[in-house]
Structure 1
Amino acid sequence: GLTYIEENLELTQEVSQFDTTDITAAALKSGTIDVQVIDVPIAVGIMQTSEDVELALIGEFITNEEYGLAMEEGTPLKECVDAAIEELRDEGVLEDAQTEWFPGSTPLTVFE
């Protein structure tokens, strides 16, 4: 997130960095920082466990980061896994799972 922000936004304030997600979340809850930039599923988890301060997920950046599954090179499972993921996406199962397990994360405002 930090690299994307530094390369794509015109910053008007200094960006704070913290060693862990927990420390960053504590800084957000205490008012030390105003915004925390973090992966959506992690943000949802922080929101769900925040009992003392009400937090909101306000949007997302499209960073074109890619995630993958590790498997042995050349394995015939790759085609099966790719097909299964595509089918889950096409049938709306992935979006339904995101809505169920990460409530409040769809749809989000996209910041440009």
Structure 2
Amino acid sequence: MSRKQRIPPEVNRILYVRNLPPKVTSEEMYDIFGEFGGIRQIRRGNAHDSRGTAFVVYEDIYGAKAALEALNGFNVAGRYLIILYYSPARMQAKTDLKKKQQEIDRLRRMAAKNEEE
């Protein structure tokens, strides 16, 4: 890939990977993603709500861009990978949405409890 090629603003060196098979190992992750450039770090989700996800941090944006283009939709152990560029704003919005939903649920429980009384 030519380094003079214009890169879209959303491109960065961190990829957010979803729909990972539960049995995929770290070595397999490095084999799959390392083909496209140097990897600085892979962080897999291990909490209940983050299983099947990972963050792959490349040394530069060109490796991340090549990996996203080649691996988005790639079949790994019967699952098709969903790969996005990491976006702090998008992740924060997801967290905010979860908090709002929890607050709505709490208010509904309070309303139901008040109706019973």
Interval containing the TM-score (normalised by the shorter chain): under 0.3
**TM-score (norm: length of structure 2):** 0.25
As a proportion of its length, which structure holds more strand? 2
Higher radius of gyration, 1 or 2 = 2
